[in-house]
Structure formats: C-alpha cells, structure tokens
Structure 1
Amino acid sequence: MARVLMLVGDAAEELDSMYPLFRLREDDHEVVVAAPSTRPVQLVVHDFEPGCDAYTEKPGRRLPVDLAFADVRPEEFDALVIPGGRAPEYIRTDPEVARIVQHFFAHDRPVGTICHGPQVPAALGLLRGRTTAAYPPLRADVEQAGGTFADGPDVVDGVMVSCRGWPDLPQWSKAFLRVLAKTNGS
C-alpha cells in the first residue's frame, strides 16, 4: 500500500479528482487530499456541449480535505496526483505547493497529472526535457515550459504519468498504478 498525496483547490474538476481518489483506494492505497486550507473544496464539472467552442463549467460536489498545503510533509508520501480543472491555475503560485511538488520531482517519486494538472510542474520549471500529455489547448504552455506535448491518454515519462482529461482516466489509472507498483516494489 502506498500513501498518495492529491493536491486540489476550489474548481478542481470533479471527475479528475474523484476517479483517481476512488481508483487508488480501490487498490488499497491511502489517498490524502491537500488544499490551501482544510475546509472542503468546491469541485466543478466540465463538459462539452453542442454549440460551445470551449467546455462549460457547473458546480460539482464538495471534496473533504485532510491537510492544508502548509502541513504537508512530502517525505511521508510515495506519490503525488494533481487533478485538472481551474485549481492548477492558482495553486501553482502557492509556495507550499512549490515545496511539495519539487520534492516529488527531486526524489523521483511518481507524479500523476490530469488535464490542466501539468500547469503546476510547468510553472515550476519541472517539465523541461520531459514529455507530458495535457488538455490539448495547453500544448503551448507545455512547450513554453520546455516540455514536449504528447496527445495521448496515458503518457509515461519516467515516473510521471499524464493524460489529456477525464475521458482518459481508465488508461491513465492503469499506467499510474503500474508506475506506482514498480516504484514501491509491489
């Protein structure tokens, strides 16, 4: 069993957050949810509707939070997951998030990003020389951060596993669980 840290905030995408949370727990891993504070975060539902050029956003469920970012001790975790939605846009500027994410990259621990999740390591200069999937309109952001954009459902670069968004979660989950098993000696 691994301890997996999930970084969220208000407007994290509901499927991007809940699917990996339950899938990892289903495999007997402990998932700890961290956010700017310990109050529950408001998730959102992103969907694609006919006649819209971009996705739409509706309120989703509230997700309980276990730890505030400031209280996270990253050395106590085996892996990290960063769901998409709008939350990565602002949590990437939090110095505590920088401290946490840099630890996982520095110690070659598994990092899973979903949809807009790569915005966090991109803002920290951690995608340089790496290949990652992301929500397709983020291609320029990935490339500006020195990364290579890959349009795939389960892109693995070392211990980093990424996907384009919630439709890719079945493939992403399988790939992330394989990387997690390999790095935890399972």
Structure 2
Amino acid sequence: MARVLILTGDAAEELDSMYPVFRLREGGHEAIVAAPTTRPVKLVVHDFEPGWDAYTEKPGHQLPVDLAFSEVDPAEYDAVVIPGGRAPEYIRTDPDVARIVTHFFDRGLPVGTICHGAQVPAALGLLRGRTTAAFPPLKADVEQAGGTFADAPDVVDGAMVSCRGWPDLPEWSRAFMQVLEKSLG
C-alpha cells in the first residue's frame, strides 16, 4: 500500500481532486489530502458550455483536509498528486508546497499533475527538460518553464504522469497507478 499526498486548496476542480482520491483508495492505497489549512476546501466544477470561449465555473462539493502544508513531512509519502482548477495558481507560491514537491522530484518519486496542476512544478523550475500535458492554454507556461508541452491524456515522463484535465482522468489514472505500483517494487 502506498501513501499518496494530494496537494490542493480552494477552487480546485472537483473531478480533478476527488477522482484521484477515490481511485487511490479503491486501489488499496492511502490518499492524504493537504491544503493551506485543515478546514475543508471548497471545490469547483469546471465545464465547457456551447458558445463560451473559456470554461465555466460553478460551486462544487467540499473536500475534507487531513493536513496543512506546514504539517507535511514528504518523507512519509510515496507519491504526490496535484489536481487542477484554480488552486495551483496560488498554492504554487506557498514555501511548504515548494519544499514538498521538490522532495518528490529530487528523489524520482511519482508525481501526478492534472490540468492546471502543472503550474506548480512549472513555477518551481521542475519542468525543465521534461514533457508534460496540461490544460492546453498553459502550453506557453510549460514552454517558458523549459518543458515540452504534450497534448495527450496520459503523458508519462519518468515518474511524472500528467494530463490535460478531467476528461482524461481514466487514462491518467491507469498510467499513474502503473507508475506508482512500479515505484513500490
């Protein structure tokens, strides 16, 4: 059984956040949710409506939080997942998030990013020389961070598994679970 840390915050996309938590638990792993504080985070639902140039956003469920970022000892976890939505935009500036995410990249441990989740390793300079998927409008952000953007549902680069957003979650989940299980030996 792996212990997988989910890094999130308010305005994280609901499916991006809840699907990995449930899939990991279904697979017999422990999913631990960390956020800026221990109060439940307020998720949002992003959808694509006809006639809109961008996605829409509606209030979603609340997600219970197990730990504040400041309480996380990354050495206690086997992998990390960063869901999308708007949360990555602001959690990427948290020094504890930098400490946590860098730990996983430095050790070649599994890192999953979904949709806007790529903004966190991009801001930390961790995408340099890597190939990653992300929400397609983030292509320039990935490239400016030194990464190569891939428009695909399940991009695996070493121990990093990424996707464009919630419509890709079945493919992303299969790929992430394979990388996670391989890393456990």
TM-score in terms of structure 1 length: 0.99
Q: How far 1:139 moved relative to its partner?
A: 0.1
Cα deviations across residues 33-91 of structure 1 (Å, max 9, x unaligned)? 00000000000000000111000000000000000000000000000000000000000
1:76-108 C-alpha deviation (Å, 9 max, x unpaired): 000000000000000000000000000000111
One-letter code of the match for 1:54?
Answer: A
For residues 116 and 44 of structure 1, the distance between their equivalents in structure 2, rounded to whole angstroms, comes to 13
- After TM superposition, give the deviation of residue 181 of structure 1 in Å: 0.7
Equivalent position of 1:127 in the other structure: 127
Q: Secondary structure at the match of 2:116?
A: coil
Is it true that 1:169 corresponds to 2:169 in the alignment?
Answer: yes
The 3-state SS of whatever aligns with 1:93 is coil
Aligned partners of 1:112, 1:96: CA distance in 2, in Å?
18
Q: What's the counterpart of residue 72 of structure 1?
A: 72
Could you tell me which residue of structure 2 aligns to residue 27 of structure 1?
Answer: 27
Measured in 2, the distance between the counterparts of 1:96 and 1:23 equals: 26
2:30 and 2:21 map into 1 onto residues whose CA distance is 9
Q: Aligned runs of 1:21-170 on 2, under 5 Å?
A: 21-170=21-170
Deviation at 1:136, TM superposition (A): 0.2
Shift of 1:6: 0.2
Rounded Cα–Cα distance in structure 2 between residues aligned with 1:173 and 1:183: 15
Q: Count residues with an aligned counterpart.
A: 185
- Name the SS of the counterpart of 2:174 in structure 1: helix
Listed as ranges, the gaps of 5+ residues in structure 1 are: none
Q: Which runs of 5+ in 2 are unaligned?
A: none
Deviation of 1:19 (Å): 0.5
Q: Match for 1:10: what amino acid?
A: D
Identity %: 81
Which consecutive segments of 4 or more residues in structure 1 shift more than 2 A?
A: none
Matched letter for residue 127 of structure 2 = L
Whichever residue aligns with residue 90 of structure 1, its letter is Y
Q: Equivalents in 1 of 2:62, 2:178: separation in Å?
A: 29
**In 2, Cα distance between the equivalents of 1:89 and 1:99?**
17
